[in-house]
Amino acid sequence: MAFEFETKPKFATFDMNGTLIKFAINDLMRDVLGERLPAEVADEYLRICKAYRIDECTGAYKPFHQIVNDSMERASRKVGIEFRADEAREVYDRIPSFGPYPGVTAALNRLAEAVPLVIITNSDTAVAEQLAANLKAPFEVMITAEQMGMYKPRLGAFEYMFEKLGVTPDEIVHVSASPMYDHRPAAIMGIENKVYVDRGFEHDEYWLGYERITDISDLPVLFGLPRPDAS
């Protein structure tokens, strides 16, 4: 299993939150809201809050702390619990504590031997820098929603990335655990080399034409690198 590149890609570009970083925001909201989030509405609250975050990301740009605030406010109203802005701020302020999924740091450092690494993330710059530091891997460039003035899945986010990196769609490999936020727009924008890291929280949309992996250690192999234990 490996890509057959006509020419070596100039960059491997990565979604960060949910792909590399275990973005456990549902667990965080359960913890912060505590007993104020009744068991009978908790699952619906978390489901609709995620949907509202996506909806907020497709509108006019606002900082990510405002995305968290507004999505939690809308979800609270939907399920009939009191919204508290200080709780939304606590959720946002604790996001930088999230760490990588198992195996991510080793896989990224291995892959960096073959191709420069880039992050394109739906995070504010300060938070993105803290999360990227948690990955302990060498990234050449980090592109944030704050810099772009928009969020994925907006097509303009990928246009910004192409211009920032000075590349065409065929010169990168894009890696993400989200067909919704990343692989759909990436396919529309002409990125043929895509890797779906199946983390189990979205459905496989194989028709988008990506390579699907469930073990991050398989990522360097796609670029033709031998496994570290290979003789």
**C-alpha dihedral (144, 145, 151, 156), degrees to nearest 10:** -80
Q: What phi and psi values does residue 96 have, to the nearest 5 degrees?
A: -60, -10
Confidence (pLDDT) at 231: 43
- The two three-digit tokens of residue 4, written as one number: 């057959």
SS3 11: strand
Secondary structure class of 21 (helix, strand, coil): strand
Distances (CA, A) of 123 to 63, 78, 111, 130, 138: 8, 25, 23, 11, 19
Does residue 135 contact residue 29 with C-beta atoms inside 8 Å? Answer: no
Residue 216: per-residue pLDDT:
94
Q: What is the pLDDT along the chain (231 residues), one digit of tens a residue?
A: 677 777 789 999 999 999 999 999 999 999 999 999 999 999 999 999 999 999 999 999 999 999 999 999 999 999 999 999 999 999 999 999 999 999 999 999 999 999 999 999 999 999 999 999 999 999 999 999 999 999 999 999 999 999 999 999 999 999 999 999 999 999 999 999 999 999 999 999 999 999 999 999 999 999 988 876 644
pTM of the model: 0.94
CA-nearest of 2, 6, 5 to 226 is 2
The confidence score (pLDDT) of residue 79 equals: 96
The CA dihedral of 134, 91, 156, 203, to the nearest 10 degrees, is 80
User: Which pLDDT score, from 0 to 100, does residue 219 have?
Assistant: 95
> CA angle at residue 121 from 141 to 146, to 5 degrees?
90
Q: Backbone dihedral region of 99: left (phi > 0), alpha (psi from -120 to 50 degrees) or beta? A: beta
Contact 16, 105 (CB under 8 A): no
Query: Looking at residue 6, what is its pLDDT?
Result: 72
